[in-house]
Amino acid sequence: MTGKPRILVTGAGGFIGYHLVRRLKNDGFWVRGADLKGPDFEPSTADEFAVLDLRRWDDCLAATRNIDQVYNLAADMGGIGYITANHADISRNNILINTHMLEAARVNGARRFLFSSSACVYPQYKQNHPDVTPLKEADAIPADPEPGYGWEKLFAEELCRYYKKDYGLETRIVRFHNVYGPLGTYEGGKEKAPAAISRKVALAEHGGEIEVWGDGQQTRSFMYVDDCVEGLVRLMASNYSEPLNLGTDRLVTINQLIDLVSSVAGKRLKKRHDLSKPQGVRGRNSDNTLLNRVLGWEPAITLEQGLTTTYRWIEEELRKAGRIQTIAAGQAAT
């Protein structure tokens, strides 16, 4: 060993966790991954990969043994359809994961603990217009987060503060804003908007139509996974322990996101809006003022660049599964 910290990444079988493990290994760290299962699409590059249920205390103790730094990304989560339909399960599972992981990290002598929170902690009353004012970290209080997922994330942020104050555990808190990229879930109900839209566009015929949840005027900002990982590594190395946004501040409507993906695919598609489906808050954007000040950096990969890579990967996965029978280039829009 070179004296570098030994690192644990929980949720290492998931999308962000897989990419983070790969980055940390490339940086020369010894890494243990832990999750309920391994990655779906490629084997983990971790030095050790432990299949564990981090809702269980004994499994959290095993995961954190002989570890210096913990990136706690493990969570029961998904897209808007999933998190609005499973409040009890999500809240119970994530509260168990986060409380057990914090205590196990303390008991086993970990020096730093990064908790992955979410922009879902922000008050719904500040997100009821598409042209939303970018959300500052201080906006989380007075609290009115999204039911279930948002409330448990906000509580876990407070728990991190308590562990730092009472026990001296160096905690870091990151609030993700809509992370996307290749090697992520793209169907089954837990996928996020960029992946779901990429799948729908890839499967649609040129000149056809795709279903859109809501009227398509709801707005979000989207961050490519490589930028997300860079931000995580920088935050862990910093001395900042308060919650910090990690996202881009480019606001787009869901309709615009569909148009961007359709352009990558070379397809012209009609949108069929389903107003009965959940669409979340009306608008959400990241204020990156504090991110810039704390880390001297902010995400730089453009939405066009990230969507191109993401769409091509999903399209190829669908093609390998035999679900796309024709070559999209032959259907290019003119």
Structure tokens at 220: 């979000």
H-type alpha helices, the chain: 15-26, 57-64, 80-85, 87-107, 149-167, 193-203, 225-237, 254-265, 289-295, 303-320
CB 6 within 8 A of CB 47: no
Residue 169 neighbours by CB under 8 Å, 6+ apart: 102, 105, 106, 110, 111, 112, 113, 163
CB 61 within 8 A of CB 54: no
**Residue 22 identity (one-letter amino acid):** R
CB 74 within 8 A of CB 64: no
Count, residues in the chain: 334
Note if 149 is an active site residue. yes
Other beta carbons within 10 Å of 251? 18
Closest to 300 (Cα-Cα) out of 240, 224, 232, 237: 224
Residue 89 neighbours by CB under 8 Å, 6+ apart: 76
| Residue of 18, 82, 149, 163 marked active site | 149
The DSSP annotation for 300-334 comes to ---HHHHHHHHHHHHHHHHHHTT---S-GGGG---
CA distance 145 to 194: 23
Other beta carbons within 10 Å of 66? 11
DSSP 174: E
Structure tokens at 187: 């169907």
Catalytic residue IDs: 149
